[in-house]
Structure 1
Amino acid sequence: MPQLNPAPWFTIMLFAWLIFLTVIPPKVLAHTSPNSVLIQEASYSGTDFWTWTWY
């Protein structure tokens, strides 16, 4: 069974990883979510716990 010459495929793989590591991450990190996260303080609502009638 004939083997493929790895020389051109290795350079293609290197260029693909170069593109993946240099071009794509800034584009992904520049994406902003339309919904901003608001941090709310935890507050106690003052409601009573459920009272089980059979307990």
Structure 2
Amino acid sequence: MPQLNLDPWFLILLTTWLVYILILQPKISSYLSMNSPNKKDNTTTNMNPWTWPWT
């Protein structure tokens, strides 16, 4: 069963992860987001209770 032979696939997997971790990840994480999230105000809103017509 050739699927169980780890010789070629393990090397490909290891090489792919090393390329991702060492080369691509620092380049991707260096980009700045154009739409950075803003802090939400902690002001409370005045809540008026709903008047139900059947109560």
Fold conserved between structures, TM > 0.5: yes
Identity, in percent, stands at 31
Structure 1: tracts of 5 or more residues without a match: none
- Residue correspondences, number: 54
RMSD: 2.5
Alignment partner of 1:54 is 2:54: yes
Name 1:18's counterpart in structure 2. 18
TM-score (norm 1): 0.58
| Matched position secondary structure for 2:34 | coil
Q: Which has the higher helix share?
A: 2
Q: Where does structure 2 lack aligned partners over 5 or more consecutive residues? A: none
